[in-house]
Structure 1
């Protein structure tokens, strides 16, 4: 009963009065989730969750500050504008999520003189509040789950379904979790200015994290010396390794500002980490430049570039002001993430433009781009270049913006027979690192005169399955598809997962000695699935595989996907 009594104590009047807007968006997020689940209405829950976080940060920002009403209105309007913009940048919403969490970490210290220790203590307290809220919610949910399982087993009540558990989880984590977190937040004004003396905190910093930074630095400098002496190019993932290094350094320096007593190693890191960061910054820049010049910008490389800009800014700031400032680090990272997610220069757009330009340069190199127009290849291209072209086209095809740029470059219509049209237009065979080495089991296709019945299907897609997850858009939603465990084809549509065992299909075809798919047997490769209001038809056109240890391993497959959502509102 003590636990439930403590839960009850969290529902105080103060938490509702301090964060009134949050308690407007909270039920809206829950209602939106249920409306989408049971009535197929457009799911707006994530936007209400965004609004919840923004409302918390704004309340923390204006609390105990003499701010005019017009200025408060401007802040609210700007917050809602960012939510509105996030709807148009589907592929970079993870940046927006991060920017909101960063804003939460420093919003209460804006327009206010603060020290590193105050901001550090606030964020440590927030982590404690989040942990308390999360574990309390999990414990409560486990308790409900136990009661549910017991009642269902003992009384065999049919109306109890797993959907009830999902609904309870939604209410718990969208309702109870925020209340528990906010109730912890209001109990302090975060005017902590004392250093931290806790033994555990001191041990972690002095004897684990600080030595880790020291060893990490030595390893990097040894590698830098090696490639300099041998005049080698940096390895491909060096940029990622250096970014991890700098992230750990910044985290350790932030935590060290709150330490009451230091040893020689922690003092050394605080005094000299700025200077021993210069060489890694140089090699980070070289490594990123090398990869980008070879393969263009992708979303992951954009993240590395953004991190490098942040590290360089912090380095310059410390060299000028001779101090590390947590507030400055958080605000600068917030600006970078917001820029990377909600501007025309966001990670996705820049990566699409870069890959489209890279594809264009390959065409120019192979005399396939003449008079501002892409023409078919006059001769068979080397396997490496076919793989490169296929990889870029796959990357661009996986998003709305990418398809737009591909259509603009190739000047052809992008329709349901996407891959057939594109590669036929280019006179290039679809090639991957697997297909160039592995033979195709289904060696012959006579499908040009076969029309797949698309009646009663609203959506159709030509898709290529591999071990990497891809997504395709229908309206303002998308579905994902991927190949798993060298066998299982996965389709996730409308939050429902459908699986097809390609290995089993292949073994069946081998037993029947089928090597050619034509109008006499193509129906063996057509699979229909119906689940509630969702109807799916999948036509497998091709499968690439090899025999490994007397076991079939499937690397990729081509197919045509048709589906329809009935009674959609």
Structure 2
């Protein structure tokens, strides 16, 4: 492979920016947002949440604008109308930014992945929406596939080279490039260099590709000796397993779904890769393989429907089961299509899959609406069965119910709050859950949010306690009544005045050996799980009660900092002193960490700090 020169790369990048200005803007926007997110380093959850949303928006906007460019260029649409299409892409990306908020709804990560997949598939056929052009469609996607691999290789080589150079500067010239600098370097290489390099290789004249009959020999070798054997191994295993469960008359295991999908992926990919050469005399076996592949898919899809259906009837629909059902239906459609129709159009594969993917994101038919409805229905039925459902609302369960039903109800609540937020229960509770959610999310007098994990846990705990289910198993978290929270307190200023002191000794966690240094003999020790810290200087013991300061912090800080695990304190409140006959010792605490259960210290106390020692003359 011949690597291009710097001049060629520069000229190529200039031309790419002219051809794809909006795509480059989206790439730059996402790269800047990712850089800011690294710099924030888990200190501002709201800002980081917006950075993540902008990164997602940039990804979707880039894909959508590229699809628009390919479509308008292939249809030779005028510049004015093309700009209207681009404006539409910008508006759709902006709507996605406002709608997708993974900080509150974990399911929004899946929504983003689905939209991204759908837009990737849209790019695959956007330039080939007219009838025919199958050869050009294949050549176009082959070029994109190879360009992705080449871009990844160049980006990896560039990163390794520059990272090594930064490491050399650290080692030879005492530069201070830390881990975040390397991460930011990777972000800019992937976000800008990789994107520009890929766009530079996107075919401009897509119509001419229909006359291109070239075929990389490596693809045939890869398909014939890697993908086809893998697909064969999968189908033999699956057919043997299907025979086994028929003989034993037992239900299939859930894991079989993954194996069937693996077979489908390897099989369809192998058929797509050899599509242009399937009619050649030396490749007649490909037609036989294609027919046998789709024919064997039919009994396997029956097995897949049984495996998924069994779990749906038992546990209800979740997003994962919804996707399995949709994929099974799609694979059935593709199999029947390629078995019955002689004139086969491979554009059907990305086209139909992109539409199905898009339909599963929003709307009453979406994965999330169907899953939420299914899990809510199971929860409501549990409450109805135990007389805790009146006038269409869930009532707190006061009577004792069996542990199986209680645990099941808790799991449904956990799922709904985790995936769809607390407000998903609004139709079944009298309380204004948006107000409840806001009160949990924000401190009374301060305008910042809890960490995402703590926020989710607090909302789940509220719902479980409100509905009288506190005594039942909490799947994702500890039970609300016994939850441990881990806190770290640090001074607001890490600079300490050492004027007037003679020695500084770092605090150690474990017992240390007796050390003689600067005519001073000392030993550091920690007792009672970190509650007592001791410093022995020339036989004189100085003991510091760390538990006292920890209890004070619990009493004065936890209520004011509800949900915040990293709390800043005034520096003077993080200091302990002891005076002896020979020395005056000051312990400066740089950080103190411990778990809290019901406002009591639970477990070890971890302290980082330094002893400052002054000789009393």
| TM, length-normalised to structure 1 | 0.71
**Deviations, residues 416-474 of structure 1 (Å, cap 9, x unaligned):** 454554334433313157999xxx9x9x9799xxxx9xxxxxxxxxxxxxxxxxxxxxx
How far off is 1:245 after superposition? Answer: 2.3
Does the alignment pair 1:183 with 2:200? yes
Give me the whole-angstrom Cα distance separating, in 1, the residues matched to 2:298 and 2:406. 40
How far off is 1:333 after superposition? Answer: 0.7
How far off is 1:358 after superposition? Answer: 1.5
Does the alignment pair 1:26 with 2:23? no
**Deviations, residues 361-393 of structure 1 (Å, cap 9, x unaligned):** 222233332442323435433333232222211
How far off is 1:538 after superposition? Answer: 8.7
Counterpart of 2:296?
A: 276
Counterpart of 1:75?
A: 85
Does the alignment pair 1:166 with 2:183? yes
**Deviations, residues 1-25 of structure 1 (Å, cap 9, x unaligned):** x857257435334323322322333
Give me the whole-angstrom Cα distance separating, in 1, the residues matched to 2:293 and 2:169. 59
Does the alignment pair 1:105 with 2:106? no
Residue 386 of structure 1: which of 394, 406, 410 is its match? 406
Extract unaligned runs of 5+ from structure 1: 453-505, 510-518, 543-556, 558-569
Answer yes or no: is the 8 Å Cα contact 2:61–2:93 preserved in 1: yes
Give me the whole-angstrom Cα distance separating, in 1, the residues matched to 2:464 and 2:276. 60
Structure 1's 362 and 347: CA in aligned 2 closer, same or farther, altered over 3 A?
same
**Which segment drifts farther, 211-220 or 142-151?**
211-220
Structure 1's 173 and 207: CA in aligned 2 closer, same or farther, altered over 3 A?
closer
Equivalent positions of 1:182-201 (< 5 A) are 182-186=199-203, 189=206, 191=209, 198-201=216-219
Counterpart of 1:473?
A: none
How far off is 1:137 after superposition? Answer: 1.9
**Deviations, residues 84-136 of structure 1 (Å, cap 9, x unaligned):** 33231441111011112111212121225212x43333222212212222221
Structure 1's 342 and 83: CA in aligned 2 closer, same or farther, altered over 3 A?
farther
Does the alignment pair 1:59 with 2:69? yes
Give me the whole-angstrom Cα distance separating, in 2, the residues matched to 1:70 and 1:523. 64
How far off is 1:320 after superposition? Answer: 4.1
Counterpart of 2:266?
A: 248
How far off is 1:250 after superposition? Answer: 1.6
Q: SS of 2:376's equivalent?
A: helix
Structure 1's 262 and 52: CA in aligned 2 closer, same or farther, altered over 3 A?
same
Answer yes or no: is the 8 Å Cα contact 1:288–1:304 preserved in 2: yes
**Deviations, residues 388-427 of structure 1 (Å, cap 9, x unaligned):** 222211111114x341122432434545454554334433
Q: SS of 2:121's equivalent?
A: helix
Counterpart of 1:409?
A: 428
How far off is 1:528 after superposition? Answer: 5.0
Give me the whole-angstrom Cα distance separating, in 2, the residues matched to 1:38 and 1:47. 20
Answer yes or no: is the 8 Å Cα contact 2:413–2:464 preserved in 1: no
Structure 1's 47 and 359: CA in aligned 2 closer, same or farther, altered over 3 A?
same
**Deviations, residues 206-227 of structure 1 (Å, cap 9, x unaligned):** 2332233233223323322333
Give me the whole-angstrom Cα distance separating, in 2, the residues matched to 1:531 and 1:200. 60
Counterpart of 1:141?
A: 159
Answer yes or no: is the 8 Å Cα contact 1:353–1:405 preserved in 2: no
Give me the whole-angstrom Cα distance separating, in 1, the residues matched to 2:482 and 2:182. 47
**Deviations, residues 160-180 of structure 1 (Å, cap 9, x unaligned):** 444443333332222211111
Answer yes or no: is the 8 Å Cα contact 1:213–1:249 preserved in 2: yes
**Deviations, residues 292-331 of structure 1 (Å, cap 9, x unaligned):** 1211111111211221232122233334423543211101
**Which segment drifts farther, 294-303 or 272-281?**
272-281
**Deviations, residues 127-154 of structure 1 (Å, cap 9, x unaligned):** 2212222221222222221221212222
Q: SS of 1:235's equivalent?
A: coil
Give me the whole-angstrom Cα distance separating, in 1, the residues matched to 2:362 and 2:398. 42
Structure 1's 445 and 349: CA in aligned 2 closer, same or farther, altered over 3 A?
closer
**Deviations, residues 528-564 of structure 1 (Å, cap 9, x unaligned):** 52589xx99996438xxxxxxxxxxxxxx9xxxxxxx
Counterpart of 1:95?
A: 114
Structure 1's 435 and 106: CA in aligned 2 closer, same or farther, altered over 3 A?
closer
Give me the whole-angstrom Cα distance separating, in 1, the residues matched to 2:404 and 2:312. 18
Answer yes or no: is the 8 Å Cα contact 2:393–2:427 preserved in 1: no
Does the alignment pair 1:230 with 2:248? yes
Counterpart of 1:306?
A: 326
Counterpart of 1:427?
A: 468
* Count of residue pairs brought into register by the alignment: 468
Does the alignment pair 1:362 with 2:382? yes
Residue 125 of structure 1: which of 134, 143, 160 is its match? 143
Structure 1's 430 and 419: CA in aligned 2 closer, same or farther, altered over 3 A?
farther
How far off is 1:34 after superposition? Answer: 4.5
Give me the whole-angstrom Cα distance separating, in 2, the residues matched to 1:537 and 1:410. 38
Answer yes or no: is the 8 Å Cα contact 1:21–1:52 preserved in 2: yes
Answer yes or no: is the 8 Å Cα contact 2:234–2:262 preserved in 1: no
Give me the whole-angstrom Cα distance separating, in 2, the residues matched to 1:237 and 1:520. 50
How far off is 1:186 after superposition? Answer: 4.2
| TM, length-normalised to structure 2 | 0.66
Answer yes or no: is the 8 Å Cα contact 2:234–2:259 preserved in 1: no
Answer yes or no: is the 8 Å Cα contact 2:389–2:395 preserved in 1: yes
Does the alignment pair 1:318 with 2:338? yes
Counterpart of 1:567?
A: none
CA RMSD between the two structures: 4.0
Answer yes or no: is the 8 Å Cα contact 1:11–1:183 preserved in 2: no
Answer yes or no: is the 8 Å Cα contact 2:301–2:328 preserved in 1: yes
Give me the whole-angstrom Cα distance separating, in 2, the residues matched to 1:337 and 1:398. 22
Structure 1's 176 and 536: CA in aligned 2 closer, same or farther, altered over 3 A?
farther
Structure 1's 537 and 108: CA in aligned 2 closer, same or farther, altered over 3 A?
farther
**Deviations, residues 1-56 of structure 1 (Å, cap 9, x unaligned):** x8572574353343233223223333333344455566876422432332222222
